[in-house]
Structure 1
């Protein structure tokens, strides 16, 4: 008789997803069946998130629901790291807690649980970082893969609990990242997304200086059409890094800049002093050096002490910068962070109203930035098809998965279609606030478009 099936419930960010995929790979290699259907298993591994209050509530709700179904629970991830003993004490169904730096021990933990133990496998100070040799069973579409280039974070933003939950920055070697990228290319991956807490600081702990530019150049030799970088701080986008974006053909000119705010006083309260130089001038220089840049950012509104004047500064900044994509969060006080004890809290209804005002300001900007792509012929990665309409859904390079828009693609002349996981040339025919529409382009139209561009440039 084989080993039992273990189900997985994944919550939280893409960094967490990579950890889940490693646990799946390790258990599959050890002979366990793995499933995303909790009904098929008596043991469920729940990889939890604890980043903000909403995420904690979702994690707890998932655990309670599974416990009520009579499942035995192995709780992994950030909630386990933060509330290890409380979880074991309050949930009899919780048979083990596994920390953010301990998921590589999942097989050993499960065997101890099967032997009747209750296991606390949480290192107080996470130090582990996975490499290309750790088994991995991917859960995203076959065409897209996330590649974690470093763990942890050396910054101490006053609102953020991540360094407490994941430890200080630990970069992988360039050779290790490139080796895994080649493995993913061999699996048919079309888009590789590099992630860490601060990707522009990649290599600082290992090499004594950031090495993102060197990493991007090394990844230029990997046969994956799109390489996208998430969590790039503008202060780390040096001329050397921007040159790599510009010169390495498969690195997309997509800059994900988690700015959080624009006003120096709010940034100081957030303990982000290094960000003081992120002004219109810096962003202008970035755009000059990378003219095709697509800029995404996120902001926090309602931070303790944020006045109407501070918020107006942020509105003016967003109006001036005209970002392609903007995400807005209201402040969430996290126990164990300095921001939780800051004076002058902003009432929730004021924070919500500021979020609405900022999004209302951004919507016509987003629509205008999208409209600039109408008429262009771009590569689109097809992700799903709708048999009833014949329409396909995909993304062009300006859209990252899950956080940005999508391209709705109609078949071209003669019913030209494309299967999910493939890239096709698409002429953008219309723009909406967040999404684009287009039509598949055949070889004849593509040649005509290339010739037209040649004549225009002549």
Structure 2
């Protein structure tokens, strides 16, 4: 995030605090862009700002606690607050009543109104800008001031969700699914390419359902093929609901050169009884069947999944099934979460809630199983030469840190590259060929190959 001291000195300076997921990050960047365009001075330093916009998360209890702590800390500093995002959508007027420093709340489908909201706050109004059932999805014409590295950008291809998993409040926070037109996404991708983006990450709640609401059927395959013409080396898709990975979609993954064979599959569990209770595809061996199909059609696929342990009614037999599933499937990357009891979801009132200590022990056990699997899969890359996107440079040693296509930002590992005296100088945002020489549980190491 950069400062803009040339902006109108009569307007207040505005700082942003971002919490939560990549979708929140994109919303934050659009709010920054809108305020920047309107002449406000934007800063990343709380101390420099009279108003702080806090884009909050409310997905699980821990996220709410983090959001509330940030709000209280800023309030204690005497800052005027505009509360945006999921916590605002979730609790609305309660936040204005409970926190005197809160001057406005802005829902997840209303961030495009941030300039109008701030003007009302400047005039002394308390503002509630929250659409009950959000419909806004954004487009390529909405100003954006990016906060991630110059070389990596996230792009929302859809917003909201039509599924009703029994543990999830996302539809309540973000509304029903609504997709952006293909051409809108491609236009924004082309603009990002002009700005030096090397990796474009497509995000939505369920990316494999992209386009159903607009076109009457899923259009992820068509979108990927259109993005094949954009001058961005890596296109990565997050949150691919596995039942939507049809032959047509997997063919697009295989045939479009800049689409990475990286599949982020939120499976959540393996046992059919738990999956059924979660209101997810639950037929016996459904996940095994889908994974076999993926590996058959896309043999070089990198597979990531997320799992929930301690779901109500999860027995030791259910958990043993999940353990065997992890041992057999050998995912490249796994994220394990303990069940969070969310008020207003069906799972919150289900019988046989699992004690937290059991959930935590199950999480630790799964990760202890996954770590040697991840280490072994990483070791298979030793001796290969891969493109690495440079994201950090040690100013003292010249050593580099980056990622190859195997690793998504923030959630996966890194590639550590030893500086060589006779190698050409590398800079941030460059892609360089690297010979992998070593590995561990999470990361790879290597040396630049001269070309």
Instruction: State the TM-score bracket (shorter-chain normalisation).
Output: over 0.9
Pairwise CA distance, 1:35:
1.1
Extract unaligned runs of 5+ from structure 1. Answer: 444-458
Q: What is the alpha-carbon root mean square deviation over aligned residues?
A: 1.0
Q: 1:412 & 1:283 partners in 2: Cα distance? A: 41
1:200 matched to 2:208: yes
Partner of 2:406: 398
The superposition leaves residues 191-216 of structure 1 with CA deviations (integer Å, 9 ceiling, x where unpaired) of 00000000000001110000000000
Pairwise CA distance, 1:376:
0.2
The aligned runs of 1:184-199 (5 Å cut-off) are 184-199=192-207
Match for residue 358 of structure 1 among 357, 363, 366: 366
Partner of 1:146: 154
1:145 match: secondary structure: strand
Partner of 1:41: 49
1:21 matched to 2:29: yes
Partner of 1:74: 82
1:173 matched to 2:181: yes
Asked if structure 2 preserves the Cα contact closer than 8 Å seen for 1:235 and 1:277, the reply is no
Match for residue 448 of structure 2 among 430, 433, 440: 440
2:167 match: secondary structure: coil
Pairwise CA distance, 1:309:
0.3
1:117 matched to 2:125: yes
1:252 match: secondary structure: strand
Runs ≥4 residues deviating over 6 A: none
Q: 1:101 & 1:149 partners in 2: Cα distance? A: 15
Asked if structure 2 preserves the Cα contact closer than 8 Å seen for 1:152 and 1:197, the reply is yes
Extract unaligned runs of 5+ from structure 2. Answer: 1-8
Q: 1:389 & 1:258 partners in 2: Cα distance? A: 39
Q: 1:240 & 1:277 partners in 2: Cα distance? A: 22
Match for residue 126 of structure 1 among 108, 126, 134: 134
1:23 match: secondary structure: helix
2:68 match: secondary structure: helix
Match for residue 84 of structure 1 among 76, 92, 114: 92
Taking structure 2 as the reference length, what is the TM-score of the superposition? Answer: 0.97
Q: 2:389 & 2:332 partners in 1: Cα distance? A: 19
Partner of 2:114: 106
Q: 1:153 & 1:146 partners in 2: Cα distance? A: 18
Partner of 1:368: 376
Asked if structure 1 preserves the Cα contact closer than 8 Å seen for 2:200 and 2:232, the reply is yes
Pairwise CA distance, 1:276:
5.7
1:290 matched to 2:298: yes
* CA pair 275-221 structure 1, distance change in 2 beyond 3 A: farther
Asked if structure 2 preserves the Cα contact closer than 8 Å seen for 1:235 and 1:275, the reply is no
Pairwise CA distance, 1:388:
2.1
The superposition leaves residues 242-264 of structure 1 with CA deviations (integer Å, 9 ceiling, x where unpaired) of 00000000000000001000000
Pairwise CA distance, 1:435:
0.2
